[in-house]
Chain A
Amino acid sequence: MNILVINAGSSSLKYQLYDMTDESVLAKGLVERIGMDSSILTHKPTGKQDVTEVSEILEHTTAIRKVLGMLTNEEHGVIDSIESIQAVGHRVVHGGESFKESALVDSDAKAEIRRLFDLAPLHNPASMMGIKAAETNMPGVPQVVVFDTAFHQTMPEKSYLYAIPRVLYNKYKVRRYGAHGTSHAYVSQAAAEFLNRPLEDLKIITCHIGNGASLTAVKGGESIDTSMGMTPLEGLMMGTRSGDLDPAIVPFVMNKEELTVNEVNSMLNKHSGLLAISGISSDMREITEGMEKGDPNSTLAFEMYEYRVRKYIGSYAAAMNGVDVIVFTAGVGENSIVLRQRVLEQLTYLGVELDEELNSIRSGEPRRISAANSKVEVLVIPTNEELVIARDTHRIVQASNR
């Protein structure tokens, strides 16, 4: 069975085509800068030359159409026709309390995902666009949704409830849901395998740091706390999201600037974070460059960002009364040598000892970056949400065929 995995973000779309007979990747790729005139489609067919195409891609339907064109392209393609894709798996950020695991897409599932738009204003609509675009381009092909919140459904009440009137939870399910669950689940398991130790015995802090970023305290293989909240806005400072702030700022600013609810939501989700502080970019690579050139705003943005990651690691060590493993993953976590270094060199009180040489190695493989005598193992593990999504999709579609 060939499965197309789609991970639709607000301005990007990642895809991987799996052959599930051996879980091999036939092709993968990424559409970046959706909504701009210089969108970049990078297509990587296995065993063939990579292709990069720059064109104007204004929304997700066009993005998926271009991807399907690439997959069936005579020169760069890996399949003869779209019909040989038997199922599509989608990453969806928010599954609320209704989705504790992955599910087949039907009208009920779509309605439920739409109901959850309020909770993930930046992401669920994008996932929905991905689902609709796949439906339009591949009518009749079964689709599965895999939720980023599902892994965190093991959190105890004391972590997921907010200290506000209970009626808000009862009426609107206002609570912490977390995100990046598929990634946190995958890298915590992969960490245990890498160390050859049982997951049940480990206290792991997983740092998924990409354009969106979250930390999770994984104790005995279960998420017991995570930094993203009811929406992906809470927790760490991110590319364009504010992360934690005093909630009283929201009504204060709304009143002063006469902002509507939509405007304040957009301000916190799309106009804050690294972008707001640096005034330059939401991209950690550009921030690091700016810092190296001595730009004070980029430096401040980096320092705030790093400081908040470190504070969260400390708080999760406290939450679990210790930490055995720290894992870095996702775009920034896997690639920013300087961020990892700055965070880790100030965690010596936990017994963390960084091996600077190991830390500066660039690789696509899981690897250790802590020194041999470090009390805490520090690993970099490239996340593989797509594989988890492909496996879930395969399992669910097969079960529904029976």
Chain B
Amino acid sequence: MYFKKIGVVGGGTMGQGIAEMLAAKGLDVLLVEKTPEKLDYSYRMIETSLDKQLEKWGITQAEKKLILNRIQKVTHFAELSTCDMVIETIIEDLDAKKEVFTQLDQVCPSHVILASNTSTLSLTELASSTKYPERVIGMHFIHPVSKVDLVEIIRGLKTSDHTFNETKRFVEEVSDKKGIMVYESPGFVTTRMITLMINEAMHLLQEGVASAEDIDDAMRIGYNFQHGPLEMADRFGLDSILAALERMFREYGELKYRPSIVLKKLVRAGQLGVKTGEGFFKYDKDGDRV
């Protein structure tokens, strides 16, 4: 299989990151959002991200332009019929995702791999909404996509060996990242471990054991984390963390997954982290701490 044109469904934080990373690797990307306004917003966010890299000398003006030129804005699923692979990365909502897969199943030829960037949902269940479940697979990228060279590749019950092997090749050769194979289980390896640590950090904060700043410094300096767990949560999006924890809490039924009250409060208040300018910490529009 030759990977040249990739569809990315959903232009949120992960969709932007995946689209930008693939375009930077030289692939043509069709980015799908529901409305032209949302598409423009996603595109602008990708541009902002590239500008930040330009500022850090990571890319040149020409490279920025090239990357942006490879990303095509699309509002209709039908246009994805020419893609060599489609990656779905909309919100973590089973019904919404199933709806996307049903539609993708209709427009994409049966050999085209349909991947979901889900972190907690069941691939087998997603695949059940399609006629060709053998081509459905999980490809879980980690934020920020352009900097984290790891992808969890998740096999659903009916995912074929061919689909798995081609996806692994795509991850390792085309997108130049390490692919690890995980079996279907809510949260897989990365989300399950990191959300638990983030939740524990929030418990510490709630119990008044240490300040947010000090909790983050403890892990950042003490264990060589690039960001502490609370800033990490702000960057992932607090709503996403809450959704993941709730999902795992329901699936496993174990108390350790019960989301911290602090987290619930912030999400209810609309303080979702970097994307709203405030979570545990405050951020400017470029996503830098203020």
Contact = CB atoms under 8 A, between A and B. Distances in A.
A complexed with B: yes
A264 B62 CA distance: 18
B62 A36 contact: yes
A267 B57 contact: yes
A35 B65 contact: yes
Nearest to B69: A58
A238 to B, nearest CB: 15
Interface in A57-113: 58-59
A259 interface: yes
B57 A259 contact: yes
Interface string A319-357: 000000000000000000000000000000000000000
B26 interface: yes
A58 B57 contact: no
A58 B66 contact: yes
A42 interface: no
B79 interface: no
A262 B176 CA distance: 14
B103 interface: no
Of the listed residues B26, B62, B69, the one surrounded by the most CB atoms of chain A closer than 10 A to its CB is B62
B62 A35 contact: yes
A35 B58 contact: no
A58 B66 CA distance: 6
Interface in A235-286: 257, 259-260, 262-264, 266-267, 270-271
B147 interface: yes
B65 A257 contact: no
Interface string B58-79: 1110110110010000000000
Contacts of A260: 58, 147
Is the interface on chain A under 10, 10 to 19, 20 to 34, or 35 or more residues?
10 to 19
Contacts of B57: 259, 263-264, 266-267, 270-271
B265 interface: no
A35 B56 contact: no
Is the interface on chain B under 10, 10 to 19, 20 to 34, or 35 or more residues?
10 to 19
A263 B56 contact: yes
Of the listed residues A11, A37, A59, A262, the one surrounded by the most CB atoms of chain B closer than 10 A to its CB is A262
A257 B56 contact: yes
B60 A271 contact: yes
B110 interface: no
A11 B62 CA distance: 9
A257 B55 CA distance: 11
A266 B59 contact: yes
Interface in A24-71: 35-37, 58-59
B82 interface: no
A237 B179 CA distance: 40
A266 B58 CA distance: 5
A266 B64 CA distance: 13
B117 to A, nearest CB: 23
Contacts of B60: 266, 270-271
B62 A262 contact: no
A262 B24 CA distance: 13
A260 B58 CA distance: 8
Of the listed residues B53, B58, B65, the one surrounded by the most CB atoms of chain A closer than 10 A to its CB is B58
B17 to A, nearest CB: 15
Contact of B66 (A35, A257, A264): A35
Contact of A262 (B58, B65, B69): B58
A35 B62 CA distance: 6
Contacts of A37: 65
Interface in A1-43: 11, 35-37
B175 to A, nearest CB: 15
Contacts of B58: 260, 262-263, 266
Nearest to B63: A35
A264 B53 CA distance: 11
Interface string B164-192: 00000000000000000000000000000
Of the listed residues B53, B57, B66, the one surrounded by the most CB atoms of chain A closer than 10 A to its CB is B57
Given A257-B56, A263-B56, A59 B62 contact: no
A36 B65 contact: yes
Of the listed residues B53, B56, B65, the one surrounded by the most CB atoms of chain A closer than 10 A to its CB is B56
Contacts of A36: 62, 65
Contact of B56 (A11, A58, A59, A259): A259
A270 B26 CA distance: 19
A140 B270 CA distance: 60
A36 B60 CA distance: 11
Interface in B35-66: 53, 56-60, 62-63, 65-66
Nearest to A276: B57
B230 to A, nearest CB: 19
Contacts of B62: 11, 35-36
B11 to A, nearest CB: 23
A261 to B, nearest CB: 10
Nearest to B58: A263
B190 to A, nearest CB: 20
B47 to A, nearest CB: 17
A264 B59 CA distance: 10
A113 to B, nearest CB: 15
A266 B62 CA distance: 13
Given A260-B147, A263-B53, A59 B66 contact: yes
Contacts of A59: 26, 66
A260 B147 CA distance: 9
The 5 closest A-B CB pairs, nearest first, are: A267-B57, A35-B62, A263-B58, A271-B57, A263-B56
Given A35-B63, A264-B57, 8 more contacts: A11-B62, A58-B65, A58-B66, A263-B56, A266-B57, A266-B60, A267-B57, A270-B57
Interface of A: 11, 35-37, 58-59, 257, 259-260, 262-264, 266-267, 270-271
6 contacts: A259-B56, A259-B57, A260-B58, A260-B147, A263-B58, A267-B57
